[in-house]
Amino acid sequence: MKKLNYLLAILTLAGLILYSCSKDEEPQPPSFSFKTGVNTETGMNYVAGDTSLPTNSLFMVGFNASSNSGKDFKNFKAMRKFEGGQENIVIDSVITGTSFNANITFQANNQAGMEDWRFEISDNNGNLKQLTFTLTTFEVTSGYAYFTNITLGSYDSLAPGGFISSANGNTFGFATATDSASVIDWVYIDAGNYKHSILAPDDNIVLDYYPGVADWVVRNATKFSSPGLSSAQFDAIDSGTQLVVYAQGSNLSRLSETEMGSFSAGDVFAFVTDVANGSRSGLIKVTDVNKNYTNPGLSTITIEIKVQE
């Protein structure tokens, strides 16, 4: 009887050990999610689900992850598969730590079609988690217009004016801009905390310097971003299609030294005009900045514009 009890005790203990081991080996996948909203450094929208973009578009994906196993992360992968073909690895990186935060810019396929994207993160215990979305690309073929040597004056300047229509590069003082409100895409000012700024007519900061804009029947909602292009890259653009690609993700309501980090000769900004005013994509290159420190209302900037026709 003692031997039987001893044997039963051993079997019970073995069972407890096996149960404990099985509990320890239960999968503990990490928490892994896409970022949503806007990347404040670039002004680009995060892609966080199925979406459509022009071919060759640059797009940003943001990731947040945390380990749930207590083990460090081991690997991060990004993979893409176009139209059901072979899956290609875009990123295969060794990572460490129990948390992961990244913003990564990718480029959409150069062909029209559907491409499946898959992202995978794993820890040193072999736990992994995946995220996916499908990106549909479409062709955009468009010409472009190029306007050079455009000077804009701040709020106290009678000439040059600070308002502009990107459709033809024409500039306006406040009085004539009021008569042409439906085609005005932005206004330039240099004042207060915002310093050198390009503002959409619907931006309420404009009212601090041009209160009469509040009476405009049409206040276009032009959107802007800083796409990270050099002056040379701006000069090399020779199609409206490229302008559309670079303007994707534009959603900032204004451009200023305070928010963008710089506003000087050589800076390049992307814009998309209001749907009501044609929804044209384009780029602005700043070629000269003249700060009037005595009266910022008399400051000027000189720009070039390439805009989709």
3-state secondary structure of 204: helix
DSSP 2-33: HHHHHHHHHHHHHHHHHHHHHHHTS--PPEEE
Residues of CATH 2.60.40.2550 domain(s) within the chain? 31-138
* Order of strands, sheet of 73-82, starting from the edge strand that comes earlier in the sequence: 51-54, 128-138, 113-123, 73-82, 88-94
Distances (CA, A) of 3 to 7, 9, 14, 15: 6, 10, 16, 18
pLDDT tens per residue, range 100-118: 999 999 989 989 999 999 9
* Amino acid symbol at 258: T
Helices and strands in the chain, H and E counts: 5, 18
Which has the closest alpha carbon to 202: 180, 189, 218, 191?
218
Instruction: Give residue 7's pLDDT.
Output: 47
Neighbour count for residue 219 (Cβ, 10 Å):
20
Q: Per-residue confidence of the chain (309 residues) as pLDDT tens digits?
A: 545 455 445 545 455 554 444 445 688 999 999 999 888 776 678 999 999 888 888 889 999 999 999 999 999 999 999 998 999 999 999 999 999 999 999 989 989 999 999 999 999 999 999 999 999 988 876 789 999 999 999 999 888 999 999 999 999 999 999 999 999 999 999 876 667 889 999 998 999 999 999 999 999 999 888 877 889 999 998 888 888 877 765 556 667 766 666 688 999 999 988 877 778 889 999 999 988 888 888 999 999 999 988
Q: Which residue has the tokens 């509040």?
A: 214
Tokens matching residue 156: 């106290």
* Order of strands, sheet of 58-66, starting from the edge strand that comes earlier in the sequence: 31-34, 58-66, 99-107
Instruction: Give residue 229's pLDDT.
Output: 85
Distances (CA, A) of 188 to 91, 130, 215, 255: 41, 46, 19, 10
Q: 31-138, which class in CATH? A: mainly beta
Instruction: Give residue 192's pLDDT.
Output: 66
Beta bridge partners of 272: 223, 281
Query: With contact defined as beta carbons under 8 Å apart, do 226 and 44 qualify?
Result: no
pTM for the full predicted model: 0.62
